[in-house]
Structures are given as C-alpha cells and as structure tokens.
Amino acid sequence: VQLQASGGGLVQAGGSLRLSCATSGRTFSITNMAWFRRAPGKEREFVATISRNGRIIQYADSVKGRFTISRDNAKNTLYLQMNSLKLEDTAVYYCAAANGAVVYSDWQREVRYDSWGQGTLVTVSS
C-alpha cells in the first residue's frame, strides 16, 4: 500500500485547511486509517483515526471539536478537515494505514500502522 499526503500549507491562526491522503496498491487490505503529526522538536503524536466503514472515530483531545477525519473508500482517499487552527497545530502531518484488524485499544498507537505517507507540512502563523 502506498500513501500520498497533500494539502498542507501556510495559514493564519483561526483559518482552515483540508488534508488529503490518496492510497494505491493493495487498498482492499486497509482497515483503520489515521493522521499523526510531528511538531518541531517534538515526537510524532496521534491526531485522529477512523475505522474501515467510517463509523468509529477517535481524536486526540487537542484537536477534538476542531478537526474532522473522514474517508471515501470509493476514491481510496483519507481526509482531515482542520478548522480554527492554532499556532500549536504547526507540524508535519502524516497519514497512515493499517493492513488487517487492529485492537480498538491500539488504534492510537503508531506501531499498529503498516503504511505511511511522506508527510505534508502545515504552518500556522499569527
């Protein structure tokens, strides 16, 4: 499975961006998909994850109410709508996909994801 993230850029605080992640290859094997991010000088952290059918979603507390994860399986694409962006949202955002079942309690763990995109930079300015 190959993932290609896009949609990052420079935006003012309070603004919005929509990230996309196009998947290719053995997409039929993908179950959970997720977004993670790495801020400057920090470790990569979980942002949001979504089940195969899109019905079960988890968010990090820091983005809850501002970000929305979704997926279009017909288009093999994952999305992250980011609203009310804050300076602390500045990071490289990575999409990830799991091949096969993932225990619910592990959905936010990086090690449970098998394929990763290259990352797209989001910079929020004041």
Q: Are 114 and 106 in contact (CB under 8 A)?
A: no
Check pLDDT > 90 for residue 59.
yes
Q: Are 30 and 97 in contact (CB under 8 A)?
A: yes
Confidence of residue 27 (pLDDT cuts 50, 70, 90): confident
Where would I find the beta strands (DSSP E) of the chain? 2-6, 9-12, 17-24, 30-38, 44-50, 57-59, 67-72, 77-82, 91-99, 115-116, 120-125
pLDDT digits (tens, 9 = 90+) for 76-126: 999 999 999 999 999 999 999 999 888 888 899 999 999 999 999 999 999
Q: Of 110, 94, 101, 16, nearest to 56 (Cα)?
A: 101
Residue type, 96: A
Confidence of residue 44 (pLDDT cuts 50, 70, 90): very high
